Amino acid sequence: MRIFISSVQKEFAAERAALRDWLRGDALIRRFFEPFLFEDMPAADRRADAVYLEEVACCDLYVGLFGDEYGFEDAKGLSPTAREFAHATALNKYRLIFVKGADDAGRQPKMQALIRLAGNELIRRRFVSTPELIAGLYAALVQYLEDHELIRNGPFDAAPCRNAVLADLDEERMATFLRRARKPRGFHLPEEATAQELLTHLNLLDAGRPTHAAVLLFGRQPQRFLIFTRGEVRAFPRQRGGEADPVVSGLQGHGVRSGGSGGGFRHVQDQPVGGHAGSRTAGAGGL
């Protein structure tokens, strides 16, 4: 996601460079965001005001750094910073505003007016030093990622599966689960229970959306939503007086092969999550 950094360039030259380097260097943030700074653009036969407004339109987030200076004014008395903020607002961009200084004394009047305008719509954060600015932007971006479910701090299985909907779940698989669970487990839902009722009972919905666990258990194609992985199971047979161990015998029916030298252990052949077509080691699709 592109971040457009807006400010009076000369006044915030050091902060702009520091933000660019941090955004491209932080191990977490750089996985999600790429900054745009006007001064990093190569020379081109294009009007500067057209370029920065186009970049605002293309960005996902707008970060405004407001200080003492308003900046160069065009024929309408507007600075690039004011025009960028207005354009981001008109396009409903996600906006973050950081104001330098503990108070507004000494600011140019038009910048004071721009700060008040931004404050009427958004929560502003003040900073005095560059480390404060970076810390404030870091907290805001992490909150953005959490709000958009791009990162999580809760259990993986209980989190909603991004882009998955109820239609991505296999109703026949859920019906089979109901039939098999009722007798041996005393599952009290009737066999004619709807998919919505089953998923609700099993806590497999988050605000009406399937969780990762729901997609793993009942998904038609879980590999569409979840990263593949590979794993292996190693079984060490118990001594049973020469008799075949039923655990190992059961595993042998699911792609187990002998391994090692004299140790007697077996290991299940690697299978991707989702399973191969026709495989009895079902993987995610058949848990």
Domain segments of the chain as ranges: 2-147, 155-230+274-287, 233-269
CA atoms of 215 and 221, how far apart (whole Å): 8
**Looking at 4-18, 106-120, 204-218, 228-242, which range is the least confident one?**
228-242
Q: Which tokens in the block code for residue 31?
A: 């996985």
Query: Percent of the chain at pLDDT above 70?
Result: 77
pLDDT tens string 90-127: 999 999 999 999 888 889 999 999 999 998 888 889 99
Average pLDDT over residues 166-177: 91
| Assessment of whether the complete model's pTM goes beyond 0.75 | no
Handedness of CA 90, 95, 100, 105 (dihedral sign): positive
C-alpha to C-alpha distance for 215 and 219, rounded to whole angstroms: 4
What per-residue confidence (pLDDT) applies to 47? 75
Given a cut of 60, is residue 269 above it in pLDDT? no
Decide if pLDDT at 198 tops 50. Answer: yes
Lowest mean pLDDT among 16-20, 36-40, 71-75, 243-247: 243-247
DSSP secondary structure code for residue 202 in this structure:
T
Q: Is the pLDDT of residue 136 over 90?
A: yes
**2-147, what's its fold?**
Rossmann fold (3.40.50)
